[in-house]
Structure 1
Amino acid sequence: MDTPFEDVVTRHGPTVLRVCRAVVGPVHAEDAWSETFLAALRAYPGLPAGANVEAWLVTIAHRKAVDVLRVRSRQPVPTGRLPERGSDDGAPGRWQRDLWEAVAELPERQRQCVAYHYLGGLTHAEVARVVGTTETAARKAASDGVRSLRRSYPDGGAR
């Protein structure tokens, strides 16, 4: 292109900024605008003569604005104080603490097999390799552990 890039920014900058504001809002529009012109600066020398520069920049602006939205959607959102989780009896999480204590009281092999299979998502064959036993023995230990926990919590922990 024969036009200096600085002139392209001066001429099309306001249009690009309007596009960015429309897509990402006023707070992040300048970031998207800057990213647009950084990308355009790199690609400008290869732009064919007679190309519609404004349309080209608007396309880049749209893509950069979408990128800014994606980044924003992955960032944590600050909140006020989180509410306490309570149970029906007024003791927050009591049954969960009781359940973890019951799991801790299981025999070691049962505790490991329950934890690796039901909490870790491993197959019984994978649990057997980790624990150093057969798949059948791992399956039985996990089953026995769950049966023991069900005896401790026949209502499934709903209290």
Structure 2
Amino acid sequence: MDQAEAPSNTMVLEFKEDTALTERSGQKRQDGERLLLPHEAVYRLDFHNQELIFSRWNVSLGGHGRVTITGISQHWTPDLTHLMTRQLLEPIGTFWRNAGDPDESRLKCLEADMQEFGERIAELAKVRKVMYFLFAFKDGAEAAKLLCSVAFRGENDC
């Protein structure tokens, strides 16, 4: 799951923080809302090609910690109401490295969930040009130490 060179028929999409949306965290919570927590950020993927087949995740994290990635099934708004909370995608992607693990050790993940999550992103890309994701950084993980992308191949490349 670490960074790798992509073959020429592979499209690698990098998750990019949407700072304008992330900066809305810390607002006053209204009844029924779930606002961003200080350790959370909104990221996005922009799809220039919408006919994709999931290939693999490319994730590297400096140090130790846990990064949880949750897809949002609709356009992001500053709050996640009860209705919107039900529209968070499953499965949730989680990558981690324990505190005692060497920094150069491979990140751990639940591979079946990550495969399903990648396939779900490819499926949703057929009807969207942009997808938003909620990234949560825990146990020492920091956004500045994370590189995260997902690789796809075009449906016509099979």
Please give the TM-score of this superposition, normalised by the length of structure 1. Answer: 0.20
More strand by share: 2
More helix by share: 1
Q: Taking CA–CA contacts closer than 8 Å with sequence separation of 6 or more, which of the two structures ends up with the larger relative contact order?
A: 2
Please give the TM-score of this superposition, normalised by the length of structure 2. Answer: 0.20
